[in-house]
Structures are given as C-alpha cells and as structure tokens.
Amino acid sequence: MREIVFDTETTGLDFEHDRVIEIGGIELWNHIPTGKSFHVYIRPVGRRVDPEAFDVHGLSDEFLADKPAFPEIADDFAAFFTGARLVAHNATFDVRFLNAELARLGLPSIPPDMVVDTLAMARRKFPMAPATLDALCSRFQIDTSRREKHGALLDSELLADVYIELIGGRQAALGLDMADERATSDGDAGLVQLKPRPRPLAPRLSPEEAARHLAFVRTLGEDALWLRVLAPVAVVEAAE
C-alpha cells in the first residue's frame, strides 16, 4: 500500500481565498519509507502572505516571487500524490486548501476516503492529552531540533515518524532518519531521490556469536542454504 505523509503551508487560514505556498510529502510503502519525497514552493497569485502566517512558516512574498504558480506544478503534484492514501495532521485544513487549488483548475478533488488524519488518530489513542505535532514528537521522543519554524517537508518527515508510532511503533519504520540521508533534486518537479546509505551499518553480532552461529549451521549438512551465505566467513576463519 502506497501512502504519502504530507503537509502544506499557506498564505492564511481562509481556504476559499488564501493560497497554498508550500507542499511537502514523504512516500511510504506498506508503512516503510521509500526515500522518495516531493517538495515545492508556490507563488500565491493574487494573494499576499498574512503577517500571522509568516510568523509561523517564515515564507515571505519576496521569497515566493520567483517560484512557480500552482498551475505550473499541478501535474507534478498529481503524479506524486494520485492513487496514494494521504496522511496529514489536521488533514481537513490541508485537504480543503489543496481541493480549492485543484478546483480553480477544474481538476478532481481529493476523495475523503483516501485521507487519514493523524490528529484524529492521536486524540483517539491519547484522550485529553495534547495532540499537536510537537506534543506527539515529544511523546515519542522524535528529534525536532532542526525545526525552528514550520516547513512542509520537515513537518512531513516528523509526521511520518509520528504516524508510524501511532500505527504500532518504530519497528515498522526500519529507521526513518532523513537527517542521515543525502538528497539530490530531480529537476524542477520537486521530486527528491535519496542516495543509498554511504556505508553499511556496523554488524550487531559479536565475533563469538557469529562463530557459534556458523558452528550450528555446519550441523545442518552440506546442502544447507545458510552455508552459501556464510561461506565468506568460513573462508576467513580457515585462513586464520
């Protein structure tokens, strides 16, 4: 199952008149991060950034002046988001804004049954407890030290961690640490492809444990599949 954990930033709070100015999304496959993401800044045609909104995300009219308008990124947005289940925190806010942008172009809206709201999930799981993204990051001990202001891509990364915790814990994530990955931009589409891990993880077995395992595998017979995997180990051991 493909899911996109996403967030938006806007010029203000009125989805009928304010505009989306940033979209960030992280792709999950069966709840595991794939390393693919979407990120774009958008010029809000005919609308200026509200001062209170600027205090939240820090995106100014001057910064956005040379960015593409929503019609210019609509195809790339649709290519990344269409067909996936969409996960957002206080999803009603983000989906209303995106649907308003899509409606201006005469495009289909996002179906409600394709949206998961992590705010509602958190309130069901932790009644009466704070359910903001910051509060949930604190509850799950997710590092937010990089977050000085709200940003759609960084908030999506944090929310992906939170979502994985809400559905059963970090064992499903296999290590979603975007800070340790190096991203390269894929043209102007806003797509980001993460590079492979620069070096393998250190082994978690001690030499003694590895030796005991090899000794056990040798009792399974010469045709044991594990012997093919451990053959290099056996060669090193023989050389020693």
Enumerate the active-site residues.
Answer: 150
Does residue 113 contact residue 56 with C-beta atoms inside 8 Å? no
Q: At what angle do helices 70-81 and 91-104 cross, to 10 degrees?
A: 120
**Residue 32 CA, distance from chain mean position:** 10
Q: Give the CA distances from residue 194 to residues 20, 143, 188, 201, 208, in Å, rounded to whole numbers and listed in that order.
A: 25, 20, 16, 17, 36
Helical residues (DSSP H) of the chain, grouped into ranges: 51-57, 61-64, 70-81, 91-104, 118-125, 133-139, 152-166, 207-218, 225-239
Q: DSSP class of residue 49?
A: P
- Report the alpha-carbon distance of residue 50 to residue 61 in Å, rounded: 9
